[in-house]
Amino acid sequence: MHPVLIELGRFDLPTYGILVALAVVAALWTVKLRADRAGLDGVRLVDLCLWVVIWALVGSKLTLILVELPRYLANPGDLVGVLRAGGVFLGGFLTALVAGVILVRRYRLEWLPTLDVIIPSLALAHAIGRVGCLMAGCCWGKACALPWAITYHDPRAAANVGTPLGVPLHPFPVYEGLFDLALYGLLARLYWRRPRPGVVFAAYLVLYGVGRFLLEFTRGDTARGFPLGGVLSTSQLISIGMVVAGGAMLGVVARAETAAPAKRPAGGRSPSR
């Protein structure tokens, strides 16, 4: 674990911030590559994605503050740690989705094909971002005695985000990072099979929702909130909503498939990497 990548006197360069920047660059590059190959306006989509990233970051931080509001009301100084932590991904995803739909209309794009182009790269960015979580010590797992358990030792992580030190834990960021990376490969491949518009996005909603719901049982921090008295976390409730929405979209697409032949997008077949 290395919360700080570079120390220059009083200036610290956090590892998490560097990896988030890398995740954004990787996502934008693969979005443009995929869009260009599909005959879409890659430059415009990259511009749209930059705005979506900004709103995603804002939404993830605000959601973190909301689910732990009593803590921040009691200790306002802890708000500094929010800038160093990843926030709540699903909160950021919802704000990014709203911003994306608004921007798609503003740029006069077709929103389902646009979401299909973007969504695989979101999974890629999330996989890279989880490496940042591991380095920062946030999003830690529950205590466990498995051979692959990890133990945090850096006191800066404990000071920044409350990471428990000296306790073997589930490596939740590793679990989800590997899951997101596999999801990226699956969605990128699915995209180049050229399904009807909306299928790739719907597949993400269902697959990520199911995966995140299950992985949440290994997570130990409280940054997701527990609105149902500790039964399910906020992230699990959102995951259920994602699965329902994705399943409904797939049902609509399936009915449209039987009513008319699929409209194939232009472009090559090779998936972006």
Regarding pTM above 0.85, the answer is no
- How many C-beta atoms surround the C-beta of residue 47 within 10 A? 14
Classify burial at 206, counting beta carbons within 10 Å of its beta carbon; exposed 0-12, middle 13-18, buried 19 or more. middle
What local confidence, expressed as pLDDT, does residue 181 receive? 97
In a domain, 76, yes or no: yes
Residue 250 in this model has a pLDDT that exceeds 70? yes
In a domain, 11, yes or no: yes
Residue 45 in this model has a pLDDT that exceeds 80? yes
Q: Concatenated DSSP letters for 48-83? A: HHHHHHHHHHHHHHHHHHHHTHHHHHH-GGGHHHHH
What local confidence, expressed as pLDDT, does residue 165 receive? 94
In a domain, 266, yes or no: no
In a domain, 90, yes or no: yes
Helix, strand, coil abundance in the chain, percent, nearest 5:
65, 5, 30
Classify burial at 80, counting beta carbons within 10 Å of its beta carbon; exposed 0-12, middle 13-18, buried 19 or more. exposed
Q: Give the model confidence (pLDDT) of 55-103 as tens digits.
A: 888 888 787 777 777 777 777 766 666 665 556 777 788 888 888 888 8
In a domain, 264, yes or no: no
What local confidence, expressed as pLDDT, does residue 273 receive? 41
Instruction: Supply the range of the domain harboring residue 105.
Output: 4-259
Average pLDDT over residues 225-252: 86
In a domain, 42, yes or no: yes
Cβ contact 35:118 at 8 Å: no
How many residues can be counted in the chain?
A: 273
Classify burial at 157, counting beta carbons within 10 Å of its beta carbon; exposed 0-12, middle 13-18, buried 19 or more. buried
Using pLDDT thresholds of 50, 70 and 90, give the confidence band for residue 172: very high
How far apart are the C-alpha atoms of 143 and 100, rounded to whole Å? 38
Which residue type does 117 have? V
In a domain, 267, yes or no: no
How many domains would you assign to the chain? 1
What local confidence, expressed as pLDDT, does residue 260 receive? 63
How far apart are the C-alpha atoms of 51 and 192, rounded to whole Å? 26
Q: Give the model confidence (pLDDT) of 135-158 as tens digits.
A: 988 889 999 999 999 999 988 888
In a domain, 268, yes or no: no
Three-state secondary structure of 140-164: CECECCCCCCECCCCHHHHHHHCCC
How far apart are the C-alpha atoms of 87 and 264, rounded to whole Å? 38
